[in-house]
Copies of this chain bind each other. A is one copy, B any other.
């Protein structure tokens, strides 16, 4: 299965599960994969920003990729994040992932690139480095500091048929999403991001789905379907029930720990631990999450733990 521009729906960004001691927890990786599929994921993305990829060595990255791919067994496309400081490492990981059955890879421009020309040159080289893999362009300037205009995305899409998807998470990014959609029509699959905090608006603006690691992916799919069905109020009603948790998960530097806590509470992973260095949740923070979860479960029975 190769990723293409018809991809739609919910692509779940998977965290990398660790034991409390910091070892890879491959059992949890498998269980989590089952849960994502059962939750209706239309695709899974590994080793993204939230996957603690830079803390894995090359072998670990391929190991967790292998476990998830075997578990998915071709039912949905799996995308592997391959951003790396050097193209050699990018190529090695992309080759390994595609050989193991990935449907495509995801690339973000390297931090520190200056000027549109340098950004385009980098992305052309990166595309060459990943061989013949279909690829997702991740537009996440909050992390990279790199700006991609609609014209730049269009230029890349016009010249590189292997570029099939845009993960659109500039912030603010809704007008940019509109501009890119207007320029490119169906040339790219466009996925929203940013933890889902603008999900209904993104879909209304023409996004083909969402790629994020929000800990209740079922809701993402339900909202997507409702918006597409023209049930705007029902979509917003459901989404708004989850907004308190979405907001809480979006705290920079802390959000992944929150998300892993919820996944652990759902029984999808065994430990909420991040690999060191990483934050630990305080008792006060855990108590706040629990209040939010309790309120959510009382209002959206499908999200009751």
Complex: A92 Cα to B275 Cα, angstroms: 14
Q: Please name all residues of chain B whose beta carbon is closer than 8 Å to the beta carbon of A232 when the two chains form the complex.
A: 291
Q: What are 26 A-B contacts with C-beta separation under 8 Å?
A: A55-B85, A55-B88, A57-B89, A87-B277, A88-B275, A110-B277, A114-B141, A115-B116, A116-B149, A172-B253, A172-B254, A174-B284, A174-B285, A174-B288, A175-B282, A175-B284, A175-B285, A178-B282, A178-B284, A204-B288, A232-B291, A236-B244, A236-B291, A236-B295, A240-B244, A247-B247
| Residue interface bits A270-303, CB-to-B below 8 A is 1, else 0 | 0000011100001011001001000100000000
B240 touches A86 (CB 8 A): no
Nearest-neighbor residue (CB-CB) of A18 within chain B: B88
The residues of B that contact A288 with a CB separation of less than 8 Å are 174, 201, 204
Whether A172 and B252, one on each chain, are in contact in the complex, defined by CB atoms closer than 8 angstroms, is: yes
Interface residue ranges of A215-230 to B (CB < 8 Å): none
Q: Give the distance to chain B from A155, nearest Cβ to Cβ, in Å.
A: 12
* CB-contacts of A150-204 with B (<8 A): 151, 171-172, 174-175, 178, 197-198, 201, 204
B117/A151 in contact, CB under 8 A: yes
CB distance from A220 to the nearest CB of B (A): 16
- What residue in chain B is nearest A275 (Cβ atoms)? B86
The 9 closest A-B pairs by CB, nearest first: A55-B86, A54-B85, A172-B251, A115-B147, A114-B147, A116-B116, A172-B254, A87-B276, A115-B149
In the complex, chain B residues whose CB is within 8 Å of the CB of A247: 197-198, 243, 247
- What residues of chain B lie closer than 8 Å to A284, measured between beta carbons? 174-175, 178, 205
Contact residues, A241-263 vs B (CB, 8 A): 243-244, 247, 251-254
Q: Which of A54, A116, A151, A285 has the most chain B CB atoms inside 10 A of its CB?
A: A116
